[in-house]
């Protein structure tokens, strides 16, 4: 390509669902409701953990971080999505796109590592119950949490710098409703070899490592539960990790829909954008529902929070 034909991209156009205008207004109402439920549900769990002394343990510190991520992650994409659904201006500045990608990839990466740490926490609680208080101390929990956030955002920094150091020319139309690595890299008119290798090597090692930690932890957990003689003991042991297991299935299921299915032969760009849009906002909404329905301690703390709120309003 002639170097003089290159144009400097100063902004990107987020296609979103611009090719399906008939669903924009109904989707706007749906996403407003889902986003509000997400903020209220995860905010309530954060408040319950902060105010209920019984929940101030490593397990619930990890859950509090998951709720925080479930507030921050959709907040990087949903406000812009709502604006785009109502207006014809779907543009985002070059810097704005880079920042959105950085925070989105950082938060999603942090959640991947956090789910692995939560799986390890449940492994220690079920497989090594007598040593749990010695292994999962508050100091160890803080160290693990710092490591998850640091690893998530360091990984994101590497990808963001590599992605936006590419040359962009001709098209600036991002085939998604937010800035993500694959659709942005696809617009590059320079070699994407380094970025592709970075995704495969760095993303692969960290992502596969976190997934294997989660998988191996649950293999040991299931093996330990099956060795318990009494039915009541099995149910009690399973109840301590059932909520997290559902969240893990939900998270990795959405990843498959978003990043693997698009490479199938029956790929439809509009359908893929709609699926990723729905799953990106539905997953953070469902996580607090899963934990509040299946965890009696969280349910009890939430009742106290709402009871105190109602009493204070009556007073």
Write down the pLDDT at residue 2: 42
Sign of dihedral through CA atoms 56, 57, 60, 66?
A: positive
For 221, what's the count of Cα atoms within 13 Å in the CB-facing half-sphere?
A: 25
Write down the pLDDT at residue 265: 47
Q: Label the pairing between strands 173-174 and 11-14.
A: parallel
Beta-carbon contacts of 77 under 8 Å, excluding residues fewer than 6 positions away, are 100, 104, 177, 178, 280
> Residue 170 — left, alpha, or beta (φ > 0 → left; ψ -120 to 50 → alpha)?
left
Nearest Cα residue to 155 out of 181, 130, 132: 181
Cα 163 to Cα 183: distance, rounded to the nearest angstrom: 11
HEC assignment per residue over the chain: CCHHHCCCCCEEEECCCCCCHHHHHHHHHHHHHHHHHHHHHHHHHHHHHHHCHHHCCHHHHHHHHHHHHHHHHHHCCHHHHHHHHHCCCCEEEHHHHHHHHHHHHHHHHHHHHHHHHHHHHHHHHHHCHHHHHHHCCHHHHHHHHHHHHHHHHHHHHHHHHHHCCCCECCCCEECCCCCCHHHHHCCECCCCHHHHHHHHHHHHHHHHHHHHHHHHHHHHHHHHHHHCCCHHHHHHHHHHHHHHHHHHHHHHHHHHHHHHHHHCCCCCHHHHHHHHHHHHHHHHHHHHHHHHHHCHHHHHHHHHHHHHHHHHHHC
Cα 66 to Cα 75: distance, rounded to the nearest angstrom: 14
Q: Find the distance separating the first CA and the last CA of the chain, reported in whole Å.
A: 72
Cα 19 to Cα 276: distance, rounded to the nearest angstrom: 16
Task: Tell whether pTM > 0.85.
Answer: yes
Q: What are φ and ψ of residue 56, in 5° steps?
A: -90, 70
Domains detected in the chain: 11-258+269-313 (1.20.1070.10)
| pLDDT tens sequence for the chain (315 residues) | 444 344 577 889 998 776 667 777 888 898 899 999 999 999 988 988 888 888 888 988 999 999 999 999 999 999 998 888 888 888 999 999 999 999 999 999 999 999 999 999 999 999 998 999 999 999 999 999 999 999 999 999 999 999 998 888 878 888 888 898 888 988 888 888 888 888 788 877 888 899 999 999 999 999 998 888 888 888 887 877 888 888 888 888 777 666 655 545 455 566 666 667 666 788 888 888 887 766 777 777 777 766 666 565 555
Tokens (6 digits) for 212: 């294997």
């Amino acid at each position: 390509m002639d170097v003089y034909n290159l144009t400097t991209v100063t902004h990107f156009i987020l296609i979103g669902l611009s090719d399906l205008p008939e669903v924009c207004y109904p989707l706007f109402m749906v996403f407003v409701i889902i986003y509000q439920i997400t903020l209220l549900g995860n905010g309530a769990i954060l408040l319950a953990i902060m105010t209920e002394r019984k929940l101030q343990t490593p397990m619930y510190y990890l859950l509090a971080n998951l709720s925080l991520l479930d507030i921050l992650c959709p907040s990087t994409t949903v406000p812009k999505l709502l604006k785009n659904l109502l207006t014809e201006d779907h543009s985002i500045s070059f810097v704005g796109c880079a920042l959105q990608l950085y925070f989105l990839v950082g938060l999603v990466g942090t959640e991947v590592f956090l789910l692995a740490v939560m799986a390890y926490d449940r492994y220690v609680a079920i497989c090594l119950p007598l040593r749990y208080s010695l292994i999962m101390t508050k100091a160890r929990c803080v160290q693990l949490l710092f490591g998850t956030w640091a690893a998530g955002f360091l990984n994101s920094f590497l990808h963001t710098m590599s992605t936006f150091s590419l040359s962009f020319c001709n098209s600036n139309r991002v085939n998604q409703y937010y800035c993500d690595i694959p659709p942005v890299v696809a617009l590059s008119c320079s070699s994407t070899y380094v970025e592709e290798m970075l995704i495969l090597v760095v993303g692969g090692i960290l992502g596969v490592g976190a997934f294997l930690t989660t998988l191996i932890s649950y293999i040991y957990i299931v093996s330990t539960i099956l060795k318990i003689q009494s039915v009541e003991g099995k149910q009690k042991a399973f109840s301590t990790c059932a909520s997290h297991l559902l969240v893990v299935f939900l998270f990795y299921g959405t990843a498959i829909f978003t990043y693997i299915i698009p490479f199938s032969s029956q790929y439809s760009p509009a359908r893929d954008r709609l699926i990723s849009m729905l799953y990106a906002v539905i997953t953070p909404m469902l996580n607090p529902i899963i934990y509040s329905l299946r965890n009696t301690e969280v349910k009890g703390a939430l009742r106290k929070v709402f009871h105190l709120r109602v009493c204070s309003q009556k007073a």
